[in-house]
Amino acid sequence: MARTDPGEQSRRRRERILDAAFHAFSTRGYRDTAVDDIAGAAETSKGGVYFHFPTKDAIFRELMSTTADKLVAKVERAVALETEPVARAEAALKAVLGTFAGHRTMARLLFLDTVGAGRVFQQETNNLHDRFSRLIQGYLDDAVTAAAIPPLDTRITSIAWFGALNELVARWLLADQPGPLEDAYPALRAVLLRSAGVPETRIGAVPDPAAGSLFPEQPR
């Protein structure tokens, strides 16, 4: 009689809660999001939320890790299309930037609120950042091995890359009326490739962006 498995509906409800939480956390931050808000947005009740998740922070944690999973997968798919080491690094960079450009709230969740959630989540944050920087480090190591770039401290370099990316996205998120995030790509690419010692010839010319397009100067 049932058109859907038993449990199918439950799974759907669970998903609705996650979506609602995702949106709420991204918008208002962890501390400023009440479980009631999530329940309301998911069109269920507080009790309903607690049926599917043991605590508020379990929701947050799950969101953090699945979101990161998605992003990592996306990066890996993009990287797999390239073979040349530097091109692979570029692909990773582009994938990340492109994803955030299209999913402002995802960026917000991953990059802005991790600490905001409080000390409980610092380990979580640590893991997340670690995961990403090690992903980058892997590509850099490959490039070193392939002699595409000189030997260098790939640990520090990958941290620097990730930090640079992070900061750029964060500032873009907080800016009043930012231009498209992708506008920053050429300049960022140049900065990062240079920092890893990629030869200038490989980098090529950097097109001059419409000055100030990404972060218009606000009169203030």
Binding site for a second copy (CB under 8 A): 28-29, 31-32, 112-119, 122, 125-126, 129-130, 133, 152-153, 155-157, 159-168, 170-171, 174, 184, 187-188, 190-192, 194-197, 200, 206, 209, 212, 214-215
Max alpha carbon distance in the chain (Å)?
67
The dihedral over CA atoms of 129, 135, 139, 142, expressed in degrees to the nearest 10, equals 120
What residue 84 binds from a second copy, DNA, none (CB within 5 to 8 A, per partner kind)?
Answer: none
Beta-carbon contacts of 125 under 8 Å, excluding residues fewer than 6 positions away, are 114, 115
Residue 145 near DNA by CB under 7 A? no
What are the DSSP calls for 122-178, one per residue?
HHHHHHHHHHHHHHHHHHHHHHHHTTSS----HHHHHHHHHHHHHHHHHHHHHSSS-
Among candidate residues 57, 139, 68, the one with its CA nearest the CA of residue 103: 68
Which CB atom, from 60 or from 111, has the smaller least distance to DNA? 60
35 binds, among a second copy, DNA, none (CB under 5 to 8 A by kind): DNA
Footprint of DNA on 31-90 (CB under 7 A): 32-36, 44-48, 50-52, 54-57
Query: According to CB under 7 A, which one of 13, 103, 104, 134 is a site residue for DNA?
Result: 13
Q: Which is nearer to a second copy, 14 or 108 (CB)?
A: 108
Identify what 139 binds: a second copy, DNA, none; CB under 5 to 8 Å per kind.
none
53: DSSP letter: -
Q: How far is the CB of 124 from DNA (least distance, A)?
A: 15
Residue whose tokens read 């956390």: 25
Binding site for DNA (CB under 7 A): 2, 6-7, 9-10, 13, 32-36, 44-48, 50-52, 54-57
